Amino acid sequence: MKSRVLKILNIPGMILIALLALAFQGTLFNNVSLAFFQPDIILFLVLWVAMKREFTEGGILTLIFGYLVEIKSAAPKGLFLTNYMVIFLMARFLYKNFQVLNKRSLVMVGIVGAVTSQVLILFILYALNKADNQWFHTLQLLAPTCITHGLLIPFVFRFLYKFDFWTLKNPDAEYRYERDFYLDEEPI
């Protein structure tokens, strides 16, 4: 009975993590000097559901995450829905067709996801003719964003793994996680 309740609470728990991440990003990184190191925690969640969830469940969660970011943001409608859905499809394709086995490849997935997200937002804003000052802003924040995402993705994925293992209680999950990501085996 307890495992069923925890399994039911997994998806609302992921949405709650997304809401807390948005609140965290909106309050702590409100200062201009800290904006250089602001991680996109929703991007981490999108990468996680792309790699560890079924296509339908991960796609629906990605759309919910994008909608939550759009509610918080003053960006044009559909910007983050499109951005996160493209990142989801790209990460899902890369995970299914290539191997993400160790910490180095996981760091590269985080860096490539961050770069793709920034460039895709810039492209969408340019297509909407709203990218006036966005070029300078994107180029200025690209390197610190990539470094931050590369450093944080192993820790965030370890937390999300523990959350999934605690709520789903799948006895096969720990073996699959160890097989998929050898995070404790080698340093970066």
Which of residues 165 and 50 earns the better pLDDT score?
50
More confidently predicted of 151 and 130: 151
Amino acid at 181: F
Q: Which residues of 145-180 are buried (b: 16+ CB within 10 A; e: fewer)?
A: bbebbbebbbebbeebbeebeebeeeeeeeeebeeb
- Does residue 101 sit in helix, strand or coil? coil
Task: Answer whether residue 138 shows pLDDT above 80.
Answer: no
Mean pLDDT confidence for 3-18: 84
Q: Which alpha helices (H) appear in 53-102, and where do they start and end? A: 55-72, 79-97
List the domains of the chain with CATH numbers.
Answer: 2-29+36-166 (1.10.1760)
pLDDT at residue number 59: 93
Task: Report the C-alpha gap between 72 and 26 in whole angstroms.
Answer: 9
pLDDT for res 61:
94
Question: pLDDT confidence of 5, banded at 50, 70, 90?
Answer: confident
The predicted pLDDT at position 68 comes to 92
Q: Looking at residues 112-117, what average pLDDT do you find?
A: 87
Question: Distances in Å between the alpha carbon of 96 and those of 56, 91, 112?
Answer: 15, 8, 16
DSSP 131-180: -TTHHHHHHHHHHHHHHHHHHHHHHHHHHHHHHHHHHH--TTHHHHHHHH
Give the model confidence (pLDDT) of 78-104 as tens digits: 888 999 999 999 989 988 887 776 777
Q: What is the spatial distance between Cα 9 and Cα 36, in angstroms, rounded to a whole number?
A: 34
pLDDT at 85: 93
Listed ranges 12-16, 106-110, 133-137; the one with the highest mean pLDDT: 12-16
